[in-house]
Structures are given as structure tokens and as C-alpha cells.
């Protein structure tokens, strides 16, 4: 069993909560970081006691280009 799954099970047992609820709590911060990183003009985001997250400029340009191509394909289908 994966380490994070063991921790989730321990927390669910300790606090008498469903596994789904504990998983949502544990993974929420990572979903939040992903949403912020998808926003245009993203620079960096810091999670207290965890770290600072940023993307390299080249990676941002690559993602923007990929998104632009997807939008062009969708518009061409209309």
C-alpha cells in the first residue's frame, strides 16, 4: 500500500471521517496550486511550510502554444 494511502486511512480512522473526505482535504492544496499555475500571468505560488512553486519561462511558452493550437482546432471544427 502506498504511504499516502496509509496516512489517509490513519487520519480517517483517528477523526472518524470517510476516506473520500480525508482525500479531498489532503489533495486540495495540490489542486489549488494546479489551478493557479494554469492562470495567465502566473509567476509563483508559495504554500506555507511546504514550498514555493513556479514554472520555467520555456515551459509556460510551451503550454501557451499547446493551448493556442487546441483552440484553433476547436474553432476550425465549428
Q: What was the pLDDT predicted at 3?
A: 84
Domain segments of the chain as ranges: 3-77
Q: How confident is the model at residue 1 (pLDDT cuts 50, 70, 90)?
A: low
- Specify whether the CB–CB gap between 21 and 13 falls below 8 A: no
pLDDT of residue 14: 96
Position 39 scores a pLDDT of 80
Give percent of the chain above pLDDT 70: 99
DSSP per-residue letters across 6-33: HHHHHHHHHHT--HHHHHHHHHHHHHHH
Q: Quick check: pTM over 0.85?
A: no
Residue 40 has pLDDT above 80, yes or no: no
Amino acid at each position: 500500500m502506498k504511504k499516502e494511502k496509509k496516512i489517509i486511512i490513519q487520519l480517517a480512522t483517528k477523526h472518524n471521517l470517510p476516506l473520500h473526505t480525508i482525500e479531498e482535504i489532503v489533495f486540495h492544496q495540490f489542486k489549488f496550486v494546479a489551478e493557479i499555475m494554469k492562470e495567465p500571468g502566473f509567476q509563483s505560488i508559495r504554500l506555507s511550510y511546504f514550498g514555493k512553486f513556479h514554472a520555467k519561462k520555456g515551459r509556460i511558452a510551451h503550454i501557451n502554444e499547446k493551448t493556442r493550437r487546441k483552440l484553433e482546432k476547436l474553432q476550425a471544427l465549428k
